[in-house]
A and B are shown apart, each in its own frame.
Chain A
Amino acid sequence: MSVMKLSMGPQHPITGHFRFILDVDGDVVLKLEPDIGYTHRGIEKLAEKRTYLQNLPVIERTNSYCDSAGTMLGYLEVIEEIMSLEVPERAKYLRVIAAELNRIASHLYFLCLASVATGLETMLMWPINDRELILDLLERLSGQRITYTYPTIGGVRFDMPDGFKEEALKRLDYLEKRLEDYYKMLAWNHTFQIRTKNVGILKPSDAIKLGIVGPNLRASGVKVDVRKDESYEVYDRFDFLIPIGKNGDSYDRMEMRLKEIEQSIHILRQALKDIPKGPIKTWAPPIVPKGEAYSRVEAARGEFGYYLIGDGTMKPYRLKMSPPSFRNLIALPHLCRNVPLADVPIIYISLDLIPMDVDR
């Protein structure tokens, strides 16, 4: 049988704003070539033309609909490092709360996609429904559901409203109960297991060589988490585990998110309990002094790196972003060699790639 070129996407039910050029022989995909750039907005260049403060909403839109706090924290970290700005304690806690809430929302979104990739619509509806609870909390905190630009240079923009703590704890309790349903419906579903286990196995050595980051790397059994390894904000004060996978297959990558939601709930409970009183923002000058810095944070999809060169003006000289989806994208052609066509969506979704994050 001759090899057929199959163009999957960008008009395709699963790919999102991507195109994959597949070499298909019968039902076997010989080679996958990702064609990216459909959502390229030139955020890195755009950042050079706008002031540091104006950049906040732009940077946030790197990964807008999933993980905006996690994305922004790195940018703020790198600015605050050059300015050697000390952020108030309470602001650090609030940033962690926003970031962890958003991590849960992002992972719930991932679970939806994971079940859609296997054709289970029920688990599309359940997590997206429960995600609303988290987005609602974020709205109470910041006034917006998704792109809320909550953290800002020198702190956060708003304080926690009255009754937020109780409501958040209540919803986390509910979510923890709900996770059991997710396990039953998705992770322990026999059909789901036979469909995803041993599909797209990423060996730890390969994962490190390819530079995979975040939950995908941890699913391969490598214990790496910036929150623990190189603690930022106040993550060193919380007691949480880094779940790791055994086989590094698609199933492990999907289960990893369920485990991480558990840990995020754990962190959030501690943060809500320990949060100190005090100011939420220090005054930050609009001009960033000359200097350069690199920071990395653990966003929901993995390690998000920022490299910033300041030239003593109000605008950055150069901002280089290294988003997790772009770094994980390299695993896709690696894993999609000689796999059945039916496994391509599963491998793709299990890596949790967001086209906007890849293109920037």
Chain B
Amino acid sequence: MILGLGFSELIELILKVLIFPGVAFPLLFAMIVIWFERKFLARIHLRIGPLHVGPLNRTGLMQPIADFIKLIQKEIIVPDNAHKFLYNLAPIIAALVSAMSVAFIPYALKPDGGYWMIYYTPLSLLAILAIFTARPFIMVGAGWASNSKYCTIGALRAALQLLAYEVPIALSLASIVIMSGTFDLAKIVEAQSSIWFIILQPIGFIVILIAMMAELSRRPFDIPFAEQEVVFGWPTEYTGAQFALVMVSEYFDLCAATSLITVLFLGGWSGPAIPLLNDISPMLSGIFWFLFKMAILTVIIIMGRGIYPRLRIDQLLDAGWTVLIPLAIIQILITLLTVQWWLPLIGGG
């Protein structure tokens, strides 16, 4: 008995923390998505993309790992007039905080009726929202600590961008909570057993997808990183391993965000049983569906980089406040009516 857990429980906890959905999963997700993004964008650009690194010929599968190894070998340069402590701390905190949100997301239903998640709390939705909101403060801190003009401008842009996406995200989460009556992500998935929320709340889904793209600073909204304007935004001064941490933390966020949308709108792990996986364990089938839905969302989010120019910060704020927030409020009204009149009729809710 360690930590008050039995042996099998301990094994399960280690599996969860270290492999799925813990440490290994976001790292693997980051690696695969970085590779996929480069290949996919290369196709859009009529290029080939990474080609030579890795076991399979002409796929460049190991390119992200090669890049990572290259980055950690490089010298870490700290600017002379930077706030050294905060400057060195920020990338680590950014990566940790980004990876943390994965702990609150239920990835599958265990055969014994529990949920496959690292830390169960009935308020997991609030916990994730809190973690997401913490990110811009790390950016602002890092930008300020760098003591560089471009970093400062990029950090201020990140802080401004928060105003555009945070309220729409919170509002569309509100309509989910109204419909499911709980802050518990696992219960939210169970509420979708008959019908997914994307069908009941299509507007909310679109709002949260766009707001998440802004949250993740993906292409039409990558204003804090705008290369042509502020070089690389708040992480401009970071080099080597610190830069690698910053980049990886972005993909951890992508992992958490797609997981969250999958749980909220796409029914989490629910889906028809996959024959082969189901024979081993029904849980694996659930995990497959979860990852499949995550992959679709990831492709949609990545595609923005191939087809959209970047918006200006005032245009993003304009879109956030005049389009996304009204849409989210309309969604809440529709949800209230649905919960009041329609769901009792079909026996759901």
Contact = CB atoms under 8 A, between A and B. Distances in A.
B219 interface: yes
Interface string B209-231: 00000000001101100111111
Q: How large is the interface on B (under 10, 10 to 19, 20 to 34, 35 or more residues)?
A: 20 to 34
Nearest to B309: A118
B52 interface: no
A191 B226 contact: no
B45 interface: yes
A12 B312 contact: no
B50 interface: no
Q: Nearest 4 A-B pairs (CB), nearest first? A: A119-B310, A118-B309, A125-B45, A120-B309
A24 B314 CA distance: 16
A13 B45 contact: no
B281 interface: no
Contact of A120 (B156, B231, B308): B308
Interface of A: prevailing SS = helix
Contact of A191 (B46, B157, B311, B313): B311
A196 to B, nearest CB: 8
B38 to A, nearest CB: 12
A19 B101 CA distance: 43
Contact of A189 (B45, B226, B309): B309
A121 B229 contact: no
A191 B47 contact: no
Interface string A329-353: 0000000000011111100000000
A27 B309 contact: no
B153 A119 contact: no
Contact of B41 (A27, A121, A341): A121
Given A13-B228, A27-B153, A343 B46 contact: no
Interface in B155-207: 156-157
9 contacts: A14-B227, A118-B310, A120-B309, A122-B44, A185-B307, A189-B307, A192-B309, A195-B309, A342-B223
B306 interface: yes
B294 to A, nearest CB: 25
B58 interface: no
A14 B305 CA distance: 18
Contacts of B230: 341
A344 B226 CA distance: 12
A12 B149 CA distance: 13
A325 to B, nearest CB: 19
B340 interface: no
Interface of A: 4, 6, 12-14, 24, 27, 115-122, 124-126, 129, 185, 189, 191-192, 194-195, 340-345
A215 to B, nearest CB: 21
B34 to A, nearest CB: 16
Interface of B: prevailing SS = helix
Contact of B226 (A4, A119, A121, A122): A119
A72 to B, nearest CB: 32
Interface string B137-164: 0000000000001000100110000000
Contacts of B307: 120, 122, 185, 189
B278 interface: no
B311 A27 contact: no
B321 to A, nearest CB: 16
A342 B226 contact: yes
B305 A195 contact: no
A194 B315 contact: yes
A116 B153 CA distance: 20
Contact of A342 (B156, B306, B312): B312
Contacts of A344: 229
Given A27-B153, A341-B153, A344-B229, A119 B46 contact: no
B45 A126 contact: yes
A191 B309 contact: yes
B313 to A, nearest CB: 7
A342 B229 contact: yes
A197 to B, nearest CB: 12
A17 to B, nearest CB: 16
A191 B220 contact: yes
A12 B232 CA distance: 10
Contacts of A191: 220, 308-309, 311
B313 A4 contact: no
A185 B231 CA distance: 25
B228 A119 contact: yes
Given A119-B309, A125-B45, A342-B312, 4 more contacts: A6-B149, A13-B227, A24-B153, A345-B228
A13 to B, nearest CB: 5
Nearest to A123: B309
A119 B313 contact: no
A195 B312 contact: yes
A195 B311 contact: yes
Q: Taking each of B44, B47, B227, B313, which has the highest tally of chain A beta carbons within 10 Å of its own beta carbon?
A: B227
A340 B312 contact: yes
